[in-house]
Amino acid sequence: MTQPQFDIVVFGATSFVGQILCEYLWQRHGLRGEVKWALAGRSKSKLQQIRAALGADAADLPLLIADADDEAALHTLCDQTKVVISTVGPYSLYGSTLVKVCAETGTDYCDLTGEVQWMARMIAKYEATAQKTGARIVHCCGFDSVPSDLGVQFLQEHAQQRFGQTCNNVRLRIKSMRGTLSGGTVASMLSKVGVPCRSSRGQGHGGSFRALPHTWRASA
């Protein structure tokens, strides 16, 4: 089997978050850094604009062209990378084929989704395949989960230090927020309008997802 030439491919590099991610990768790894990466999306001209915005030195950054519904093109994309980061939402409309292909090809995958019903469908359809190929499919790597994950980590470490034990259960409440919603987030919200209520039942705590038993380990 041919070794993938990229460590990371940003699929949806022209999106709001995709552009931020590309700027980060460029600043951290550049063109010839230890991590090899590429921009991907459906529009070559828009990808070229994003690359140009990174500066003249980024002119040789690779561009991969693939539409979210083009399974053959996505197979070609996945064959070239170890990890795909998808910023293409709403995921319920544009994300399913890529998850399928990553599961089949053993390509690691992460996204920004917070669409619980869609995640439940992806798990039901492709978990067994991903387990066979070794693909690691990781949803919810955006604002929907990262602050809560880090919040739980901080709280548990503090509880361990102060009380000598961690909390059995943690619930999150948001008091205030800054910033605005991106176009992709708004589109994801609108895509849920009209979804039958019955399709959402059982999707909350104790429904489609459950917390697996684990032992808390403080960070080093």
Domains of the chain: 6-138 (3.40.50.720), 146-199 (no CATH)
Average pLDDT value for the chain: 87
CB-neighbour burial class of residue 184 (10 A; exposed 0-12, middle 13-18, buried 19+): buried
Check pLDDT > 70 for residue 197.
no
Q: Which residues of 141-154 are buried (b: 16+ CB within 10 A; e: fewer)?
A: bbbbeeeeeeeeee
Residues paired with residue 10 on neighbouring β-strands, in sequence order: 39, 85
Query: Is the pLDDT confidence value at 75 over 70?
Result: yes
Output the DSSP codes for 41-106.
ES-HHHHHHHHHHT-GGGTT--EEE--TT-HHHHHHHHHTEEEEEE--S-HHHHTHHHHHHHHHHT
What span, in angstroms and rounded, lies between the C-alpha atoms of 60 and 155?
A: 44
Residue type, 18: G
Q: What angle do helix axes 183-191 and 16-29 make, rounded to 10 degrees?
A: 140
Least confident of 58-62, 75-79, 151-155: 151-155
Residue 182: the pLDDT is: 54
- The proportion of the chain whose per-residue pLDDT surpasses 70, expressed as a percent, equals 79
This prediction's pTM: 0.80
pLDDT in tens, 83-126: 999 999 999 999 999 999 999 999 999 999 989 999 999 999 99
Residue with the two structure tokens 């550049």: 30
Report the chain's terminal Cα–Cα distance, integer Å: 37
Residue 220 has pLDDT above 60, yes or no: no
